Every structure is written in C-alpha cells, then in structure tokens.
Structure 1
Amino acid sequence: MTGAVTENPPVEASTRVALHDLAVRRDRDEWIVGRMATRTFVALPPVGARAVELLGEGLTVARTAQVLRAETGEEFALTDFVRDLAALGFVARIGDRPLPDPAPPRATLPRLRPHQVRLALHPALPLLVAALLTAAVITLFRRPDLIPHYRDLLWSPHGSVVLLSGAAAGWTLLLAHELAHLVTARAAGVPGRMRLGTRLQFLVMQTDISGIELAPRRHRLTAYLSGIALNLSVASALVLVLTGTDPGTTAHDLLAAALLLALLPLPFQCLVFTRTDLYFVLQDLTGCRDLYGDGRAYARHLLRRLLRRPGATDPSTRLPAHERRAVRVYSVVLVVGTALCLAFMAAVTLPVDIALLVRAVQGLGPGNGLAGNADSAAVLITLGGVNVLWLRTWWRNRRERRSASA
C-alpha cells in the first residue's frame, strides 16, 4: 500500500520559518546544532550556526541572507539551507504551514527524569570510584591470592551449573553496565535507548545516547565511561568483600567467580574498531564526527587503489587536518583488528562452539541419566540460545539499516 507523499511548502525570500527547540554547542571551529527530542544533530560552520540563530529570531530568509552578507561579505544559499534544516526535522513550520513531525524514538525507562539522577554527573562521583579502585588494588598487593584466575569460573563440578550461573551473572552485569550509560545520559538530558546489537561475532547490549554530543565535555566523557566505571566499582567492592570470607567456602568461590565476570568485559572495551565505549572516548578526544564511518571509507579507498580501480578519490581529503590524521590511523586499527577478530572466531570460537553443541546433542538420551541429560540440555539452551539470538539481532539490524537507506 502506497500513501501520498507530502512535500514541504516552497521556501521564498519573504518566508519566515519556525524552528523546533534546538540545542547549540561550540566545538573547535564548528558548532553542534541538534534537536534532543529526535536525537538528531549536525556540525555547522559558524555562519551556519549564525543563520540558525537569525532564522530562530523570526527573520525572513531574505533578511537573514542580508545580515549574513553584511557580517561575512559572502553570499549564502539560505533557501537550500532551510530545506536542509527541514530534512533534518529542525523546522516546525515554513510560513504558515506546519511540517509533519514524526514521533521521536522510544526511550528506555521514559519515566526516569534528569533531576532524579542528577547525582550521576556529580564531580565527586569519579573520585569515589577512584578511591574504591585504589583500595582494591592495595588489597590485591597485600593479598595476591585474591587476584582473579580463570579457574575461579569453574567453581562447580557441573558444567551446566557453571554455564547457567555465569550467563545469569554476566547478563546482570551487562544490564547494569548499560543502565550506567542510560542514567548518566538521562542526567544530561539525553533520553537514551537500550537494545541488543552485534559487533562482529559478539552479541552485545548497547545504549544509544545520541544527543550527548550537545552536552559539555565532562558530561560526555562521564556518559561514555560510566559503564567501565561501574564494572570497576563492582570488581573493587568484591575484592574488599572477599577479604572477609574464608577460601574454599561456597561464598568465597561465588564471589571470586563474580569478580572475574565483572572484569572480563573490560578487555573487550579496548577493541575500539568495534565501536566500544573507549571508541566514543577516542572519537571525542580526537574531535572526529564519525571516526568509524570515515575510517571505513578511507580503508575502502586504499583497497580500490590497491586494486588499481579508476576514479578512486581519497575521502579523507575533505576532512579537517586533525580529523584526517586520526581517521587514517584508525583505518589501520579497523582493518587489522577486524581481520584478527574474524580469524580468531574461525580458528577458535566457532570450532569450540560446534564441539560443545555436538557433545551436548550426543549427551541427550535415555542412557545418559537425568544428570547427563540436564547438563546437555543446559548447554544447548545457553550456548545455542546465544547464537540464535545473535543471528536474530544481526538480521533485525540489517533489515532496519536497509529500510533507513531506502
């Protein structure tokens, strides 16, 4: 079923436009302008930000162009600029005709208000995390027997118990990690949305905090690093609690396993080529707008040059000098890191998963007893379920990207 397409009214010299509530922040030589309700933002040169300001004051297109010409000595294509703003959803009305306004993306925990979680951005909170981490490090120096080891995960002789408990604890920590991003972003006035996603072969839970780009740098970095800070805080607290338990007891073994599970996601954060939390920190510190997208485009350009394909223009030349350097270095990290990750999956992860699944299927049957069947079923449910969920999430995201680009 095809509906009629509603076109925007024409933009003329005498036209006045009404803008939605827009946030503006200066960033280096540009201005970030965005609409928090739709989590849409764009980087504009100073003249573009000035045009938004003048149009927001109610000046006509012609008068705005006249003011800009007097201030800069240059002509500015205001009609095209207004059309671009309308395409971004920044314009509420052109003349006396309102523009259609699509429903904003659905936020997670919409009843959570910024004033309810404002303490998440308190300057003292990072100091408390640092103090807790310092206490844990000192404790580990004094008690090296508490340093985590992979054997801590094998706290039970039953593999199914280890898998199920590990999955439950791991997903709980993952949910808490993403909630930390959501809460800090909400404290900065950004709605945020949590959902499942994929990063290469990894199934991840991710929090979209688009709009945080409009917040001050301290708030942005706090939102990016809040998940890592939560994992470190949980791990530090567990180290301190472990000092009060006796080795060999069930409580000690469970706490030791939880400690390792809290630390295991942290090395993954270093895989910046998969757009982890540290990737967004790196992107912010380098002043890049789309480090991943520009890095991938530059890597494709190098591949076309290697294959000697005609018309291969360097996409990084349109970027400012500081972004160009960062993008070219990141493109190397992106290609090498992706290749190594996929190779590890093919050589290690996939064969191990297949072997465990085959062994679990073979372990089902009347001759294996109740315990054997339960153990095999737990492996199938846990490991098989994760792989099915990865495939479903990957397919859903792929379909949404196709719909968005259509």
Structure 2
Amino acid sequence: MTDADTPTHTAAEDRPRIEPSTRVLLHDLAVRRDGDEWIVGRMATRTFVALPAAGARAVELLGRGLSVAGTARMLRTETGEEFEIADFVGDLTALGFVARIGDHPVPDAAPPPPSLPWLRPRHVRFVLHPALPVLVGALLLAAVVVLIRRPDLLPGYRDLLWSPHGSLILLSGAAAGWALVLAHELAHLVVARAVGVPGRMRLGTRLQFLVMQTDISGIELAPRRHRLTAYLAGIALNLSVASSLVLALALTDTGTTAHRLLAAALLVALMPLPFQLMVFTRTDLYFVLQDVTGCRNLYGDGLAYARYAFRRVVRSRRPGGATGAGDPSTRLPPHERRAVRLYSVVLVVGTVACLTFVAAVTLPVDITLLVGAARGLGPGHGLAGTADSAAVLVTLGGVNLLWLLTRWRDRRSGGSAG
C-alpha cells in the first residue's frame, strides 16, 4: 500500500534490459521429462512449471551460458522455428529462476522455511525402500485375517464412549485425533524429505474442515513410485496404526479398560480414512488421481470448467443470452479434457453435498452444544457439570475459532484454502 502521491514502479521496470547479447545466470533448476512436456522447477522456492521440449532446451542452452541471440539461433537450427527468447527470459525471471541478467543480480525473495529443517534426506532414506510397502501390506493383511476370525473386534460408535465423563472422552479424543493428524502429515513430510523435497506443514481449511496440510511442492520432479509413496504415506500410516491396534485388541481381554481404550483408538485411526475419498477437497487420493490421469491442475481446471458450464446454463435460459467465454477445457490434451470434465461433476456434487450438510446438521449441532455449554457454566451446576461445559467450549469453540482464523489467514495471503 502506497500513498496516492508516491510514485510507484514495478519489479519488471527494475530489471535490466534484455538485449540479444545478454547472458543470464540461472539458479539451480531441476528438470524431469513428463510425456511430451518437461517439468522445470526450483526446489528452494518450490516453484515449478511445465514446458514444451523447446522451452526445456532453451533453459538448458541459457544455463550453459549462451546469449539470448545464441539460444534463439540454436533453437532455429534444431527446430526450424523462431522463438522470442528475450520474452522467455522475462518469464523465467518472473518465476524466480534467474539469478543474474548480464552483470545485474536479480532480487530474490526468501524461500518459505521448511518444517523440521534439521531432518536430512539421509536420515529418512529408508522410507523409499521397496520392502516398506510390503511390510505395511503384510501388517494390514494380518489385521484383516484377525477381524475375519474375530468379527467381535470390529469397533462401533459405542466404543468411543469408554468413560462416563463426557469431558474426558472429548478431550482425550481430540488429543488422540490431532496427534494422529500430525503423524499423518509427518509421514508425507518424511517421504518428501527422503526424495530431497523440503516440505512444510501448516494448518489449512477444506470447505468446513480444519485440516493439517503438508506442502510437498517439488515432488513432481521425483519418479512416479516416489511421488505415489509421498501421496499415500499418510493413509499408509493410518492403516498401519489401525492394523496394529487390531492385533493388540486380539491380545487383550474384552471388557477391560485397556480393551475399551484400544477400541476407541482404533476408531480414531479409521475415522479420517473416509475423508480421503472426498477428492473434491484435494485430499491425498486427489493427488494420486491427478498423477494417474496425467493432469497438471485437476482441481483448478475442473473448477474453471464447472464455472463455464454454470454460466452456459444460466445464459442459455436468458432470451438472446450470449454464450460468453469459450470452454476452457478445449485447450487441454484429450486425456486431460475427459478427466477434468468428469472431475468437475464430482467437484460440484461433492461441494454442494458438504455445504448442505453443514447448513442442515453441523451448524445446528455446534450451536446447540455451544449454547448448552455456555448455560452450564457458573454456580448451581456443580463441579462436574461446569467442567463438562468448559471442555465443550474449549474444544468445540476452539476448533471453530481456529478454522475462522486459518480461513482468514489464507484469504488474506492469497492461499489456496479449500
């Protein structure tokens, strides 16, 4: 924000002029071929872009020290086409890929700090070993066999009510749930760090959900097996914890406090898994789906197509209504176009269903509980009643307040909260 009488200038105006003889120094960039395109990115800033083969070749030539004119001349010889390399260098500079233009250093923004910076790839390289998924699968299979032989171990909602004190159930459930959420995200971070991706954990929102999320931008440059391992690491951890709890349940006597606590913990470990199916909120399975379909931005392109389809329906109902902007999915390759259009249906239906549930169930329940808890405070309600009310206000009210603050932070910073 500047005063009205203060002259302003853009970063582009501060850059030195790019002449045909100009040479640039690029930052350390990583490159991976992906079908007909190349993924080029800078791991330090977690900025990545998909380029055609000619663009990746231009990056290579500029990185080798060729001038703007020399790069254009080499590309013309190799492809028979003319390329505006000066404009291309400007685009690379805007992405933060250029360290120096000629003799002029390019200002560089400080990269976002990674979570657990002391954790080095060599510390966690073992998570990429092919034997680890086999061990997880064996543990899951053992738990399934136990449940088939002893179906009485299958937990139900009553197992969460392991204590007559509601406040104790609420507080312990919240503590266990958030501990598991942290472990889930840590699994993503550990696999990404093993690949060499910094990774950063933070709170975020997905529609009405308060979530912990891990930014592992840069994993796009890893081999597909490593990418899928990073995406599925959290789910694998939940399943491993749940499988271990099933085996522990089989070794404890039914009706004991230990058995009730294990059953409650098992439910806590399993409850986040159905949420992963909600791919319209960009869950772990969403990134698997995006990778498998070969889409660059399944959510963004799906949202753009849904908005286009909505505007088209609205305008078609108006007399003489114009069709407006064209179908944004037509610029995509055929395989991406089909995936994006199908995903847009899931995106719209899922989002409407979630928001409807919030309005019809979640908000009325939360308001009822919070109002009842507020009325249960103060003298005349006894110590136990006051404690229960305080626990409800702290946990439920705290979660809702944290959601609001996180949503406000993401909107203010231009984040991509769901």
TM range (shorter): over 0.9
SS of 2:76's equivalent in the other structure is: helix
Equivalent residue, structure 2, for 1:144: 151
Q: Which of 354, 359, 363 lines up with 1:341 in the alignment?
A: 354
Distance, in Å, in 1 between the alignment partners of 2:166 and 2:35 is 54
Equivalent residue, structure 1, for 2:69: 62
Query: Are positions 1:197 and 2:204 aligned together?
Result: yes
Equivalent residue, structure 1, for 2:114: 107
SS of 1:18's equivalent in the other structure is: strand
Distance, in Å, in 1 between the alignment partners of 2:415 and 2:351 is 23
Contact 1:12–1:79 (Cα < 8 Å) also in 2: yes
Equivalent residue, structure 1, for 2:395: 382
Equivalent residue, structure 1, for 2:369: 356
After TM superposition, the structure 1 = structure 2 runs for residues 279-358 of structure 1, keeping only pairs within 5 Å, are 279-308=286-315, 310=322, 311-358=324-371
Q: Which of 18, 29, 32 lines up with 1:25 in the alignment?
A: 32
Letter aligned with residue 352 of structure 1? V
Distance, in Å, in 1 between the alignment partners of 2:169 and 2:363 is 20
Equivalent residue, structure 2, for 1:37: 44
Distance, in Å, in 1 between the alignment partners of 2:190 and 2:23 is 39
Q: Deviations over 1:40-81 (max 9, x none)?
A: 000000010011111111111111111111111110110100
Q: Which of 191, 198, 213 lines up with 1:206 in the alignment?
A: 213
Distance, in Å, in 2 between the alignment partners of 1:28 and 1:90 is 23
Distance, in Å, in 2 between the alignment partners of 1:8 and 1:120 is 44
What is the number of equivalent residue pairs in this alignment? 403
Contact 1:33–1:42 (Cα < 8 Å) also in 2: yes
Q: CA deviation at 1:283?
A: 0.5
% same residue:
77
Letter aligned with residue 228 of structure 1? I
Contact 1:304–1:312 (Cα < 8 Å) also in 2: no
Distance, in Å, in 2 between the alignment partners of 1:29 and 1:158 is 61
Equivalent residue, structure 2, for 1:400: 413
Q: Deviations over 1:107-153 (max 9, x none)?
A: 10011111111011111110000000000000000110111211111
After TM superposition, the structure 1 = structure 2 runs for residues 117-196 of structure 1, keeping only pairs within 5 Å, are 117-196=124-203
Equivalent residue, structure 2, for 1:252: 259
Q: CA deviation at 1:158?
A: 1.2
Distance, in Å, in 1 between the alignment partners of 2:179 and 2:15 is 47
Q: CA deviation at 1:355?
A: 1.2
Equivalent residue, structure 1, for 2:284: 277
Higher mean Cα deviation, 5-14 or 231-240?
A: 5-14
Q: 1:256 to 1:181 in 2, by over 3 A?
A: same
SS of 1:367's equivalent in the other structure is: coil
Letter aligned with residue 216 of structure 1? P
Contact 1:295–1:327 (Cα < 8 Å) also in 2: yes
Q: CA deviation at 1:101?
A: 1.1
Q: Deviations over 1:228-256 (max 9, x none)?
A: 00000000001001111111111111111
Contact 1:272–1:279 (Cα < 8 Å) also in 2: yes
Distance, in Å, in 2 between the alignment partners of 1:22 and 1:241 is 48
Letter aligned with residue 96 of structure 1? D
Equivalent residue, structure 2, for 1:16: 23
Letter aligned with residue 317 of structure 1? T
**Aligned-residue RMSD, C-alpha:** 1.3
SS of 2:381's equivalent in the other structure is: helix
Distance, in Å, in 2 between the alignment partners of 1:26 and 1:226 is 24
Letter aligned with residue 218 of structure 2? G
Q: CA deviation at 1:365?
A: 2.6
Q: CA deviation at 1:5?
A: 4.8
Letter aligned with residue 395 of structure 2? T
Contact 1:305–1:312 (Cα < 8 Å) also in 2: no
Equivalent residue, structure 2, for 1:231: 238
Distance, in Å, in 1 between the alignment partners of 2:209 and 2:76 is 52
Letter aligned with residue 188 of structure 1? V
Distance, in Å, in 1 between the alignment partners of 2:298 and 2:341 is 10
| TM-score, structure 1 normalization | 0.97
Q: CA deviation at 1:312?
A: 2.5
Q: Deviations over 1:147-190 (max 9, x none)?
A: 12111111111111110000000000000000000000000100
Q: Which of 380, 384, 406 lines up with 1:367 in the alignment?
A: 380
| Segments of 4+ moved more than 4 angstroms | 1-6
